[in-house]
Amino acid sequence: MTLQSTLRPLRGVARRLRENWKLSTGLVLLIGLILLALLSPLISAAVGQGTDPVAIAAYQKWLRPSPDHWFGTDQFGRDLFAMTIGALRVSLEVGAIAGVLSTVVGVIMAFVAGYKGGAVDGTLSTITDMVLVVPSFPLLIALSAYTKNVGIVELGLMLAAFSWPFAARTIRSQVLSLRARPYVELAKVSKLRDLEIIAYELLPNMLPYIGVGFASSALGAIFALVGLEVIGLGPGETIDLGKIIFSAIGTGAMTLGAWPMFVAPIFLLTLLFAALNLINIGLEEVYNPRLRGVAGA
């Protein structure tokens, strides 16, 4: 097994990326949002000019949007622009943690079930289906009583516990298809171990589907957190996009002229939703021949 053969699927991903505008646009939007979130400490320092712009009473309350405060200030005198960019970073961090954890669990479950088959597949598939049909949002509401002072990592763990089954089912179906391919049979004849076959033969060909599973899990976690925040059940110490929306609704920010407090987080969430869905649609069109023929991708 050579490095060149292992990297061949990655070269195919790069080629497809150049050919599919939906995938390219989604990645550009997502990278832009990630860069904006990563730059949030610098943006906060530039806005504050030596002071913390999101500290309580940093400025006057309910200032209108102006060159000094692009989004104005909230009911506590905090700069809304700096606070919104910081909240975007928190939302993306929670989504990334939940997405990575759920994808890792889903990939392990899917590869073991799909490759082994038989009783192992039946048992793991039953567990996946049981978790999949559980109504996760009511459980998250019930668990929210214990999440008032948790950190971002703990919050990501809680959200990941309910988001891994989708990735597991998506990837398992592809593993079942790939394990019967001639190159996998050849690897078995060559006396490669199961772990080597999975790592060198199956995993590189599964990267697009793993990407779809990660994007779906991360997006689901972000919007689940927003849903908890909007109804007032999110973590008390975490300022994410959902908490800003909840605060805007509770204070009547729109009537006070602080419309960016409501519009800005919704706009960022819409961009994030559009980016991840364009990536999902692009990957489906690239790696699903039937969709490729219909969409002309």
pLDDT > 90 fraction of the chain, expressed in percent and rounded: 14
Determine, yes or no, domain membership for 45: no
pLDDT digits (tens, 9 = 90+) for 129-179: 777 777 777 777 777 766 666 677 777 888 888 778 877 877 887 787 777
Contact assessment for residue 221 and residue 98, using Cβ atoms and an 8 Å cutoff: yes
Determine, yes or no, domain membership for 181: yes
Determine, yes or no, domain membership for 287: yes
Q: How many domains does the chain have?
A: 1
The pLDDT value recorded for residue 295 is 44
Residue 17 above 90 pLDDT? no
Confidence of residue 297 (pLDDT cuts 50, 70, 90): very low
Q: Among the ranges 93-107, 112-126, 132-146, 282-296, which has the highest mean pLDDT value?
A: 93-107
The pLDDT value recorded for residue 8 is 56
Cα 91 to Cα 210: distance, rounded to the nearest angstrom: 21
The pLDDT value recorded for residue 89 is 92
Only one residue has tokens 């405060």, namely: 69
The average confidence (pLDDT) of the chain is 80
DSSP class per residue in 225-283: HHHHHHTT-S-TT---HHHHHHHHHHHTTTTTT-THHHHHHHHHHHHHHHHHHHHHHHH
At 135 the three-state DSSP class reads coil
Determine, yes or no, domain membership for 112: yes
Question: Taking the CA of residue 155 as centre, how many other CA atoms within 13 Å lie in the half-sphere pointing to its CB?
Answer: 32
Which of 10-19, 89-98, 108-117, 194-203 is predicted least confidently? 10-19
> Which pair of tokens denotes residue 91?
């939302």
Confidence of residue 33 (pLDDT cuts 50, 70, 90): very high
Determine, yes or no, domain membership for 192: yes
Confidence of residue 11 (pLDDT cuts 50, 70, 90): low
Confidence of residue 16 (pLDDT cuts 50, 70, 90): low
pTM assigned to the model: 0.81
pLDDT digits (tens, 9 = 90+) for 229-254: 887 776 667 788 988 998 888 888 88
> Which pair of tokens denotes residue 290?
């039937």
pLDDT digits (tens, 9 = 90+) for 83-111: 999 999 999 998 899 889 888 888 888 88
The pLDDT value recorded for residue 271 is 94
Determine, yes or no, domain membership for 90: yes
Residue 55 above 80 pLDDT? yes
Alpha-carbon separation of residue 90 from 36, 83, 210, 285, 297 (angstroms): 12, 11, 23, 31, 35
Determine, yes or no, domain membership for 51: no
pLDDT > 70 fraction of the chain, expressed in percent and rounded: 86
Q: Looking at residue 210, which CATH number applies to its domain?
A: 1.10.3720.10
Contact assessment for residue 144 and residue 243, using Cβ atoms and an 8 Å cutoff: no
Its domain, for residue 239, covers: 10-37+78-295
Residue 192 above 70 pLDDT? yes
Determine, yes or no, domain membership for 266: yes
Contact assessment for residue 198 and residue 111, using Cβ atoms and an 8 Å cutoff: yes
